[in-house]
Amino acid sequence: MTTKPGLVGALLLVSFASFSLLAPITALSVEIVEPQHPKNSIPRSYGSGFDCAVGYHKSDDRCDKINLPEHGFYSDSTYGAGWDCRHGFRVNGDLCEAIKVPDHGYLTGSRYGSDWNCERGYRKHGENCDAIVLPPHSFYADSRYTRGWECEQGYLEERDSCIAVVIPDNAHAVFTSYSSGWACDRSFVKDKGECTKLRVPENGYLTSSGKDWRCNRGFRKSGDDCLAVVVPVNAFLSDTNVGKGWECQRGYRQSRNTCVEPD
């Protein structure tokens, strides 16, 4: 079949016209519309939305300029007023107020409390630092919850003084504010204000604490003694401080004081 030249030209013209009409539609379908952010803002690197540049504070959909007070600096926090006070000052409304440090005090840099503390040898009393009076046989303590001093080892606090501890035989002084101020020597135990010798039975030994004893391997504690562990046939010694002191071999199960084959 032979195609006429006029027909071929008409077909080409229709094809060109169709492509021309579709071209703008295709271009519009891939166009990306960038979101509009307010002035002095920075698009977030993740998700959507924006943050305000340094020196500006987010207010609804705007970035308003921050009124920075004297002795203040811009903060990078997205919360709060967008500024903070320099060291030695604290926020008071829209201003930075100088922190009043008393004699024998120093700035701490803390944002909580009074922002200052007292030197060693002094303690807070209202807005001042009062000197701590040390009784004999005491030393300065850094704790804020005590008088500012503690007693030396061998002495106990009693009112405003440090009283010598009476140490019984076979004992030694210990540093503590919450007990008698002494402890029994190794292998001795406290009993009614004295230190008595700890009895270690035959086939037993003193533990590392020096305050208790255990039985040697192959023996188990029974009252104040160490009795030999009777190991039945098809069993072996285990931790004698727990249970019977023996376990059945693999392939056997315990039945009272024997090891039997499973049913």
Q: What is the pLDDT of residues 214-232, one digit of tens each?
A: 999 899 888 999 999 999 9
Q: Which of 178, 198, 218 delimits the end of a domain?
A: 198
With the CA atoms of 213, 216, 221 and 223 taken in that order, what torsion angle do they form, in degrees rounded to the nearest 10?
A: -60
> Diameter of the chain by CA atoms?
132
Could you tell me if 196 and 189 are in contact, meaning their C-beta atoms sit under 8 angstroms apart?
Answer: yes
Q: Is the pLDDT of residue 182 over 50?
A: yes
pLDDT tens figures, 43-55: 887 878 888 888 8
pLDDT tens figures, 68-82: 999 999 887 767 788
Q: Is the pLDDT of residue 136 over 90?
A: yes
Confidence tier at 142 by pLDDT (50, 70, 90): confident
Residue 143's closest CA among 177, 94, 104, 95?
A: 177
Q: What is the DSSP string of 164-214?
A: EP-PPTTEEE---SSS-SEEEPTTEEEETTEEEEPP--TTEEE-TTSS-EE
Residue 45: burial class (beta carbons within 10 Å; 0-12, 13-18, 19+): exposed
Confidence tier at 33 by pLDDT (50, 70, 90): low
Could you tell me if 148 and 139 are in contact, meaning their C-beta atoms sit under 8 angstroms apart?
Answer: no
Q: Which of 152, 174, 198 delimits the end of a domain?
A: 198
Structural domain contains residue 138: yes
What length is written for the chain?
263
Q: Which domain holds residue 187?
A: 133-198
Residue 189 and residue 144 share a domain: yes
Element (H, E) at 89: strand 89-92
Structural domain contains residue 164: yes
Q: Is the pLDDT of residue 26 over 80?
A: no
Residue 219 and residue 193 share a domain: no
Structural domain contains residue 218: yes
Average pLDDT over every residue of 230-254: 87
Structural domain contains residue 208: yes
Could you tell me if 135 and 163 are in contact, meaning their C-beta atoms sit under 8 angstroms apart?
Answer: no
Question: What pLDDT score does 82 carry?
Answer: 84
* Average pLDDT taken over every residue of the chain: 83
Structural domain contains residue 58: no
Confidence tier at 244 by pLDDT (50, 70, 90): confident
Q: Which of 148, 164, 198 delimits the end of a domain?
A: 198
Q: Is the pLDDT of residue 113 over 60?
A: yes
Instruction: Give me the number of domains the chain comprises.
Output: 2
Structural domain contains residue 154: yes
Structural domain contains residue 26: no
Q: Is the pLDDT of residue 235 over 90?
A: yes
Find the CATH number of the domain harbouring 172. Answer: 2.10.220
Residue 205 and residue 174 share a domain: no
Q: Is the pLDDT of residue 19 over 50?
A: no
Question: What is the pTM assigned to this prediction?
Answer: 0.52
Structural domain contains residue 249: yes
Q: Is the pLDDT of residue 22 over 70?
A: no
Question: What pLDDT score does 51 carry?
Answer: 82
